[in-house]
Structure 1
């Protein structure tokens, strides 16, 4: 069964949340995991740029899933490619095919529409009996 964690950030903006997602992705990648980052279409380019520049000494090889599959991909579509290890979601929409992943991390920050969407995701998972963890960051 998929392990689902909600990482609840105290920040209010996308840039701070993107920085957190980059650090989380780097940590998972360094531990040997493959990572798919699922986000809204208007955030895809920003996350891509953040992954290249969030720290001067960081290097997380990645690209959009539409350009081919690697250990770290970003997507805003329902296509998950062959990924099944770690899914990080910063999207308003519930991640498609989340149940094929070993772990799902739902990232929440202080944006009213996003918080409302993530609450709906939480209820959905809870009603289906998934073990849920909350982590305030």
Structure 2
């Protein structure tokens, strides 16, 4: 069963949340995991660019899933490629294929519409008995 973690950020802006997602993806990749970052379409290119530059001394092999598979991929579609290890969800939408992943990390920041969506996600997982943990960051 998919382990679901909610990372609740005190950040008010997407930019701060995006930096957090980059650090989280790098940490997971360095620990030997494949990572799929699911986000709203308007954020995909920004995350892709940010993973190249957020830490000049690091390298995270990544790209948009539409351009081909990499150890860290970014997508806004329901297609997950062959990924099944770690999904980081920064989207307002609940990914329909989340249950194929070993671990799902729902990232929440102080955008009202996002918080409303993530509350609905939490309730969905809770009602279906998924193991849930909250982390205030």
TM-score category of the 2 structures, normalised to the smaller one: over 0.9
Match of 1:135 in 2: 135
- Extract structure 1 runs of 4+ deviating beyond 2 A: none
Q: Which runs of 5+ in 1 are unaligned?
A: none
State TM-score, norm by structure 1. 0.99
Return the offset for 1:70: 1.3
Q: CA RMSD in A?
A: 0.5
Match of 1:10 in 2: 10
Return the offset for 1:20: 0.2
Residue 80 in 1 paired to residue 80 in 2?
A: yes
Residue 32 in 1 paired to residue 32 in 2?
A: yes
Other structure's SS at 2:33 match: coil
Residue 56 in 1 paired to residue 59 in 2?
A: no
State TM-score, norm by structure 2. 0.99
Return the offset for 1:71: 1.1
Return the offset for 1:56: 1.1
Return the offset for 1:130: 0.4
Q: Which runs of 5+ in 2 are unaligned?
A: none
